[in-house]
Chains A and B, each alone.
Chain A
Amino acid sequence: MPPVIDEKKCKKCGYCAAICPLDVLYLDKAAQKLLVRYPDECWHCKACMRDCPVKAITIRYPLSHMMLHYPKEVE
């Protein structure tokens, strides 16, 4: 579930849901809850994290997107 919402900080303003380029986030106004509705459609672009006015969002990078790195061999 790539964007991780800190429920204690989130003010349910819905800005992240409005600007997400992939429509991953959804503000359920009735339940006053911010949902990560389509986690596997996340691009990990950080738009939500950047623009959250109360910094309530972090991104979790899934194991499917592991960045392969190899230690330089020291001769």
Chain B
Amino acid sequence: MHKYKCEFLCVGGGIGGLMAAIAAGKKGIDVIVAEKADTRRSGSGSNGNDHFHCYIPECHGTDMSRVYREIGASFDAGPWVDSNLTAVWINRSFEIIKMWEEMGITMRPTGEWRFEGHGMPGQQLYNLKFDGALQKKCLTAEAKKQGARILNRVVIHDILTGEDGRVTGALGIDINNEEPEMVVIECKAALLATGMVSRMYPSITPAYMFNTPCCPATTGDAQAMAYRAGAKLVNMDMLNGHAGPKYLARGGKGTWIGVSTDIRGRSITSYNSKPSRATGDITADVWPTCYRDRLKQGKGPTFMNCTETPVEDLDYMLHTAMVSEGIDSITDYCEHYGIDLTKDMVEFGTYPIMMGQRGIEIDDHARSSIPGLYAAGNCTGNVNGSLAGAAAFGMVAGEDAAEYVKTVDEAPVGNEDLINERQQLYDAFMSRRDGAHWKEAASTLQNLMNEYASADQQNEDMLRAGMVYMGQLRENCLNELACANSHELLRSIEVLNMIDLAEPIFLCSENRKETRGPHVRADYSYMDITLNGKFQTIYKDKDGTVHLEYRFKK
């Protein structure tokens, strides 16, 4: 067993984790970043981003009511955000942009602040068009410069808390060698920032489960370990997904310069009829299920139609914007197969559920309900968690944690029972012969989620049955999974985390006895108006009792 000690542990080396490490490092705090891959190229921001959702006073003016209204209306995660948290990142976004520019990230490829995409015609644009192709390398270098220690290929599995309920450390595995080694990290505070849940539901190509729009390494690890540790989760009943080309699943729909049309080239909405480099096509932001809905309504297929896009804009989209966003696999594919976007329309689809921005409830300091435990990015459940939100709340968490660690005494890691239990589990998985492969379990997990916690329609009986079957799957996994090496142990831990995360989804879905937004119940096909403006939260106390509550949206 390898032991480490620090003041502040960042679990996940994505945008949120690295920003937290930088912020805390600047304040002289001893920081470790534990990342399951390599922070230079890990996660959904691994290869870039080209839109930074932000407020720049010199560009957007000081009419803040307009800014809040317009930014809030264009969230791709829908209305499931607390306004006080949105205010935090709006107000700090420009500060981050300037900081990123100093780190060497190209925030002004044209030399000026330029806004493009994700825009509603007629409103101000809030997405700064930047070149994020090297963002992870720059953030990694800055985190190191600020003194953070980066542990690549270290997979955190559990957050540890003491008798008084506060964070004392974390446990996990080091997968740098073929034989995994258990790791225990002592810390006073920890940030969870491991992204969304990409592989809980079947992918758009079910036989190929890593064909997901965002990074398939994001498997809800943060949400699952937060739930096990007793932290409050929120909005777990609001299933959501993404949209993009079929069947090469790729996020970054805002990078396309085209119009969502039917097969005859007619726009499916009234937002725009001609392609616009300025606004892009906002259809899938405000109506992310449009492609699936139209298929179900018998109105498919639906295309991203760039045939009217000016040739210079197409060239820019394919060879500049998609590279900045890290989705130039699409460019390569088009070139390899001779797809000419002036003549060919690309069919778009709504991708299956990936649970982004559904998860850990945080406050305006990025604190979870557990003392010393923070969260940022797509694993949080009540604020926009994509690039800008992850950056802002990562920074906020790092700043707050730097103060918090000064107020608490060092405490022993404790949790000997849990540490032993995990060590025995890993040993069993690694020593078992002729056992079950993690993909078998992942397949059943995805089938159960798809049928029993369906994005189309749910009912109480199905949810109850699905919950029981998921318990059976967990038991079978613990008794039968076998791993040949550290890679397979990593994949097995991911599956176990997603199985654990199914519980709050099933329970919150069952408890929301109404139909609202993406939550569709066959047995409660109407809206319960007493739940208007409310979010549902869930947490498990030390005795294992689950608490489901509704609270007003802030």
Contacts and interface: CB of A to CB of B under 8 A. Distances in A.
Interface string B246-275: 111100000000000001110000000000
B38 A64 contact: no
Interface string A16-28: 0011111100000
Interface range on chain B (Cβ under 8 Å from partner): 35 or more
A61 B46 contact: no
A4 interface: no
A50 B43 CA distance: 16
A59 B212 CA distance: 17
A71 B40 CA distance: 39
Contacts of B210: 22, 40-43
Contact of B248 (A37, A40, A66, A72): A66
B307 to A, nearest CB: 5
Contacts of B215: 21, 43, 45
Interface string B272-296: 0000000000000000000000000
A71 B179 CA distance: 51
Contact of A69 (B152, B205, B208, B344): B344
A65 B205 contact: yes
From B46, B207, B245, residue with most partner A Cβ within 10 Å: B46
Interface in B34-48: 37-38, 40-43, 46-47
A46 B322 CA distance: 12
A66 B210 CA distance: 14
A25 to B, nearest CB: 11
Contacts of A45: 41, 46-47, 215, 326, 329
Given A46-B326, A50-B47, A61-B248, 12 more contacts: A18-B152, A19-B40, A23-B487, A46-B332, A47-B41, A47-B46, A62-B208, A64-B208, A67-B333, A68-B301, A69-B339, A72-B345
Interface of B: 37-38, 40-43, 46-47, 152, 175, 205, 207-208, 210-212, 215-217, 245-249, 263-265, 301, 303, 305, 307, 326, 328-330, 332-334, 336-337, 339, 343-347, 487, 490
9 contacts: A23-B37, A23-B175, A42-B210, A45-B46, A45-B326, A59-B329, A65-B247, A67-B247, A70-B303
